[in-house]
Structure 1
């Protein structure tokens, strides 16, 4: 079972589980500000669940590539959409500021809240 480190917590999940669902099930604050209530609920159209992931996961699919190619995101960024990621191996997750998680200031890391 892959191990996930996020917001100072460590937990496991079944291989190929959706990262967004696993993070929310483990009480991880995935969304910033009002994006907690104004988001696409995991269909990949809003981009508010953007995170940085260290470790192997599924490849970016067309939805993720399309959304991350539009402002305020950038296709050259290291952000990924948690709602489109399948967890395949142990990973570490970091969340950044901004409504869409597109900012430059860390909100939380794998180890803890900042």
Structure 2
């Protein structure tokens, strides 16, 4: 079973599990500020669940590529949308500041 290192926790999940669902189930503060109540609920259209991932996950789909290519996101940053990611192996997750997680300052990081 893959492990997710996030916000000082190590969480195990099934291979192929949706990252957003796993993080929310385990009480991880995935959203910054009001994005906790104003988000697309996992449809991949808002971009507020953007995180940086190290490890084995699925490749970006068309929805994720499209959203991350639009401001305030940038395709040059290593951000991914948690709602569109399937975990396929061990990963580490970081969250940045800004409503959409697009900032430069870490809000939290993995402890690994």
Q: How many residues align?
A: 112
- Report the Cα offset of residue 22 of structure 1: 0.3
Indicate the RMSD between aligned Cα atoms, in angstroms. Answer: 0.9
Q: Distance in 2 between matches of 1:5 and 1:77?
A: 21
- Report the Cα offset of residue 48 of structure 1: 0.1
TM-score by length of 2: 0.98
Q: Which residue of 1 aligns with 2:23?
A: 23
Which stretches of structure 1, 4 residues or longer, exceed 3 Å deviation after superposition? none
- Residue 72 (structure 2) pairs with residue 72 (structure 1): yes
TM-score by length of 1: 0.97
Runs of at least 5 residues in structure 1 that lack an aligned partner in the other structure? none
1:60-89 C-alpha deviation (Å, 9 max, x unpaired): 000000000000001111000000000000
- Report the Cα offset of residue 111 of structure 1: 1.6
Q: Secondary structure at the match of 2:47?
A: coil
Q: Which residue of 1 aligns with 2:44?
A: 44
Q: Distance in 1 between matches of 2:107 and 2:65?
A: 24
Q: Which residue of 2 aligns with 1:9?
A: 9
Q: Secondary structure at the match of 2:66?
A: helix
